[in-house]
Amino acid sequence: MKNFMFISSLIGKLSPTDYVGFTFFVGCMAMMAASAFFFLSLSQFDKKWRTSVLVSGLITFIAAVHYFYMRDYWASFGESPTFFRYVDWVLTVPLMCVEFYLILKVAGAKTSLLWKMIIYSLVMLITGYFGEVVAPDSAAFWGAISGAAYFAIVYEIWLGEASKLAAAAGGEIQKSHKILCWFVLVGWAIYPLGYMMGTKGWYNGVIPSGNIDVVYNIADAINKIGFGLVIYNLAVKSQKE
């Protein structure tokens, strides 16, 4: 009994009716399982594809560690772990941008594309953090800058240099690039919607706060694991050719 109480004081307890907590818990497991899958598959790929699949695994692994903390934070304080979410995003979103570069390298992508994408994503997340946490009174202002950086990423991959490189590469690479473009356009759009719903005077009455974490948790699973699987699939197919 003593041991049990010791453990439960270390690990926040989840109530069976806590659906937000449940999605944190499931998110944690899903991210861990996906990481194991990507890491254990590495030996089947040659050098050219190994890095891309490794990065897929790093993205879900970093998320798994954050989900472990976020689940506990939620269970202990009943609050949205906004800070941990942003730390997670600041590490994983630039890595997703790196994936675009890695698969386009065969078509001659230059490191300038890599840096451009990383900088856009950092601007998007840092200004978003300002609007959500540091200066919520000017959430609209920071949200607009963040949104502009988001559109810069969308432009780059749909119409800019990255899309031209994908067209030049053709075949499986072009097909996978297109799917990843959809992830960014549709899957990533959930986050700014959540931001607007959490901003007073906008739509914050639409979804009770707390439930927005359910939306983020489901979006994260799709965006991180799904994104990684597209790359895994591309690596498998390209290796066969």
Residues in touch with ligand RET (CB under 6 A): 89, 92-93, 124-125, 128, 143, 146-147, 150, 188, 191-192, 195, 220, 223-224
- Taking the complex as a whole, the smallest distance from the CB of residue 195 to ligand RET amounts, in Å, to 4
Shorter beta-carbon distance to ligand RET: residue 21 or 228: 228
Amino acid at 73: Y
Shorter beta-carbon distance to ligand RET: residue 85 or 105: 85
Give one DSSP letter per residue of 123-186, joined into a string: HHHHHHHIIIII-GGGHHHHHHHHHHHHHHHHHHHHTSHHHHHHHHH-HHHHHHHHHHHHIIII
Shorter beta-carbon distance to ligand RET: residue 177 or 224: 224
Is-contact 31 70, C-beta < 8 A? no
Indicate the DSSP class of residue 205. T
- Taking the complex as a whole, the smallest distance from the CB of residue 7 to ligand RET amounts, in Å, to 30
The Cα-based distances of 79 to 22, 30, 146, 202 in angstroms read 14, 22, 24, 21
- Taking the complex as a whole, the smallest distance from the CB of residue 42 to ligand RET amounts, in Å, to 21
Shorter beta-carbon distance to ligand RET: residue 52 or 146: 146
Q: How far is CA 159 from the centre of its chain?
A: 22
- Taking the complex as a whole, the smallest distance from the CB of residue 203 to ligand RET amounts, in Å, to 13
Shorter beta-carbon distance to ligand RET: residue 11 or 186: 186
The rounded distance, in Å, linking the Cα atoms of 16 and 21 is: 9
Shorter beta-carbon distance to ligand RET: residue 56 or 223: 223
- Taking the complex as a whole, the smallest distance from the CB of residue 153 to ligand RET amounts, in Å, to 8
User: Which residue has the CB atom at the shortest distance from ligand RET?
Assistant: 128
Shorter beta-carbon distance to ligand RET: residue 147 or 160: 147
Q: What is the C-alpha R_g of the chain?
A: 19
Q: How many CB atoms lie within 10 A of CB 92?
A: 23
The rounded distance, in Å, linking the Cα atoms of 172 and 235 is: 9
The rounded distance, in Å, linking the Cα atoms of 137 and 122 is: 22
